[in-house]
Amino acid sequence: MSATLVVVGATLLAATAQTVAGFGFALIAVPLFVLVLDVPGAVGTAALLSFVNVVNVARTVRSHAPWDIVRPVLVGSLCGMPLGLALLLGVSSDALRIAVGSVSILMAAAIGLGFTIAAPGRLGAASVGLVSGVLSTSIAINGPPVVLYLQALRTTPEVFRAAISTFFTLNGVVTLSLFVGSGVIDGDTVSVSLPALPALLLGNWLGHQILPRFRPVTFHRFVLLLLVLSAGISLVEALFRVLG
């Protein structure tokens, strides 16, 4: 029951944040999921729930999707996914837990401090996608490299949300296929995810209610605070596991 409550609560926070900001689901959810699930289970659950939510977001902004931006990043991510899956299946759970917390904090700090990834040309965009693909299938936290890349392009908020939502949707189709084929997502993952679906839908609805009422910068700061808190909790718990 406690594990279910953590998954449901984390899903509600993550879905709301992703709906408003266009990113943040895995950054918030995965560090909290690994507190109560094994790492492959947490990664698979986050990938499944995030995909359901991002499809809803992408559906509302698909007319703004900039395919010239999305396409090379997506190609690069497809190349990185097999390596990420190998890491997920081959690296120890404790190492992956520490990676989840550390990467989440570093990426949240980079986004919060306004860092960008200047990656000119299709090769640069594909390189960003490659990193995102590795992260996607190893710890499910694939958004920050793409977020930092899009920030460097100085896109409008509408184009930003459309680009990242479209990328996550297409990326998610392949990620889920790999996870199902490798057994990362199985009947247990679906059983854990099902109770969180109402929270995900509620978070999606709340996000659409919040979006027109808050200045984007205000909510982005709130999202970043959630990212740091969830990642900090996960990292401390992981270090206690290793040291204890």
Question: For the chain, which residues make up each domain, given as ranges?
Answer: 2-243
Do 38 and 93 touch, CB atoms closer than 8 A? yes
The 10 Å Cβ neighbour count of residue 97 is: 25
- Predicted structure pTM score: 0.81
CA-to-CA dists, residue 142 to 128, 134, 184, 212, angstroms: 10, 8, 17, 27
**Full pLDDT tens readout for the chain, 244 residues:** 688 899 999 999 888 887 777 677 887 888 889 889 988 999 999 999 988 888 877 777 677 778 888 999 999 999 999 999 999 999 888 888 888 878 878 877 777 777 777 777 889 999 999 999 998 998 888 877 888 888 888 877 778 878 888 898 999 999 999 999 999 999 999 999 999 999 999 998 888 887 777 666 666 666 667 667 767 776 777 777 667 6
